[in-house]
Amino acid sequence: MSDSFEANNQPYAFEVEKDKVYFWCACGRSKNQPFCDGSHKGTGISPLKYVATATRRVFFCGCKKTSNSPLCDGTHNKQ
């Protein structure tokens, strides 16, 4: 998770490892998108815990408006 990302209207492709826990940034403030870095403190928004069910590539939501949190559902294409 050393790559630095920015919150945006595109999903983030990421290779997850089976049974590993990830915390998806739900507020959009993290400097380590799509993952939480604690920047949400004081916003009332909490990160979402995601446990990988398999080692594979997933697409984490970047626009923060998905109905399938934390994964992209294409909502960014409708904005």
54, part of any domain:
yes
Residues 6+ apart with CB under 8 A from 4: 31, 32, 33
- At residue 1, the pLDDT reads 43
Q: Look at residue 2 and tell me whether its pLDDT is greater than 60.
A: no
pLDDT tens per residue across span 54-78: 999 999 999 999 999 999 999 888 8
Residue 40 CA to residue 18 CA, distance in Å, equals 27
pLDDT tens per residue across span 33-60: 999 999 999 999 999 999 999 999 999 9
79, part of any domain:
no
- How many structural domains does the chain have? 1
9, part of any domain:
yes
78, part of any domain:
no
pTM recorded for the entire structure: 0.85
- 20 vs 6, residue with greater confidence: 20
- At residue 8, the pLDDT reads 82
What is the span of the domain harbouring residue 40? Answer: 1-71
